[in-house]
Amino acid sequence: MTHQAQAYIQTLLPATSSKIVIESRTLSKSEERVLLNSLKSDAISYIYSATISVGDATIGINKQLFTWATVKLYYATFYALRALLALDNIVSAQ
């Protein structure tokens, strides 16, 4: 899954940036707008992934594959929480 917000930030801050450079960097209004749009797009992708994972878990339960279903529900929770973070305009590192 491509995380658009993370990819955008990486274009703004090279991987070799020091902690001081990163902490002192302020986004321009246009950069902020792009980042917020990226977060919204990421949230949609995370919600889709969470939904698919719940569906996979349901299939696993119906087939009595309970360990598989548990793993899929774990991922559904992970994706749902990432969606909530993105919708709250919080960028999470991978």
Distance between CA 41 and CA 2 in Å, rounded?
10
pLDDT at 93: 60
pLDDT along the chain (94 residues), means of 10: 87 89 93 96 97 98 98 98 95 65
Is the separation of the CB atoms in 89 and 71 below 8 Å?
A: no
pLDDT at 15: 84
pLDDT at 91: 82
Distance between CA 25 and CA 15 in Å, rounded?
14
* Distance (Å) of CA 73 to CA 18, 36, 39, 85, 94: 38, 28, 23, 18, 20
Query: Which stretch of DSSP H or E encloses residue 67?
Result: helix 66-87
